[in-house]
Chains A and B, each alone.
Chain A
Amino acid sequence: MARLTVRCSTLHAARQQIATRARSATELTQAYLRGLRSVEPAVQSFIMVDEEGALEQAAEVDRRVAAGEHLPLAGVPVAIKDNLCTKDLQTTAGSKQLRGYMPPYDATAVARLRAAGAVLVGKTNMDEFGMGSSCENSGFQPTFNPWDTERVPGGSSGGSASAVAANQCIVALGSDTGGSIRQPASFCGVVGLKPTYGRVSRYGLVAYASSLDCVGPFAHTVADAAAVLSVIAGPDTSDATSSHRPSEDFAAGLLPLDQLGSKPLAGRRLAVIQETTGEGVDPGVADALANAVSHLQSLGAEVDQVSLPSFAAGLPAYYVIAVSEASSNLSRYDGVRYGHRAEADELRSMYGKTRHEGLGSEVARRILMGTYALSAGYYDAYYKRAQQVRTLVQREMGAALQQYDALLCPAAPTPAYRLGEKTSDPLAMYKGA
Chain B
Amino acid sequence: MARVVLQLRCCPAAQPGLVDKYEAVIGIETHVQLNTRTKAFCSCPSEFGAEPNTNVCPVCLGHPGTLPVLNAEMVRKAVLAGLALNARVALRSKFDRKQYFYPDLPKGYQISQYDVPLCEGGWVEVVVPDTATSGTGEVRRLGITRAHIEEDAGKLVHAGAASLSGSNYSLVDYNRAGVPLLEIVSEPDMRTGAEAAAYGAELRRIMRFLDVSDGNMAEGSMRCDVNISVRPRGQAAFGTKVEIKNMNSFSAMQRAIEFEIARQVELLEEGRGGDIVQETRLWDEGRQCTYSMRKKEGLADYRYFPEPDLPPVLLSQEQVDGLQASMPELPAAVRARYAALGLSQYDVLVLADELAPAANWVMGDVMAAAKELAGGFDALPMAPAALAEMIALIEDGTISGKIGKQVLPALLAGEGGAGGGSVRALVESKGLIQISDPAALAAIVDAVLEANPKQLQQYREGKTKLQGFFVGAVMKESKGRANPAELNRILMERLNAPPS
Give residues in A with beta carbon < 8 Å to B: 83-85, 91, 93, 98, 101, 103-105, 107, 202-207, 209-211, 237-241, 324-325, 327-328, 330-332, 334, 336-338, 347, 351, 371, 374-376, 379, 383
Contacts and interface: CB of A to CB of B under 8 A. Distances in A.
Interface centre among B62, B65, B106 (most CB of A within 10 A): B65
B52 interface: no
Contacts of A327: 303
Given A206-B64, A240-B310, A332-B106, A374 B303 contact: yes
A414 B427 CA distance: 80
Contacts of B305: 324-325, 328, 374, 379, 383
Interface string B289-305: 00000000001010111
Contact of A331 (B108, B309, B311): B108
B310 A331 contact: no
Interface stretch (B96-104, B232-240, B358-366): B96-104
Interface of B: 58, 61-70, 97, 99, 101, 103, 106-109, 172, 299, 301, 303-305, 308-311
Contacts of B299: 376
Interface residues of A, dominant DSSP: loop
Contacts of A383: 305
Closest 3 CB pairs of A and B: A331-B108, A210-B308, A211-B308
Contact of B64 (A103, A239, A324, A371): A103
A327 B304 CA distance: 12
A237 B101 CA distance: 29
Contacts of A101: 64
Contact of A332 (B69, B107, B172): B107
Contacts of A330: 108
B62 A337 contact: yes
A140 B38 CA distance: 40
27 contacts: A84-B65, A85-B64, A85-B65, A93-B64, A103-B58, A103-B64, A105-B58, A107-B65, A204-B65, A207-B64, A207-B65, A207-B309, A209-B308, A211-B308, A240-B67, A240-B68, A328-B108, A331-B99, A331-B108, A334-B101, A334-B108, A337-B62, A347-B103, A374-B99, A374-B304, A376-B301, A379-B303
Interface centre among A206, A337, A347 (most CB of B within 10 A): A337
Contacts of B97: 328
Nearest to B108: A331
Given A103-B58, A241-B311, A379-B305, A331 B107 contact: yes
Contacts of A103: 58, 63-65
Contact of B63 (A104, A209, A375): A104
A430 to B, nearest CB: 21
A338 B68 contact: no
B301 A241 contact: no
Contacts of B62: 332, 337
B36 to A, nearest CB: 17
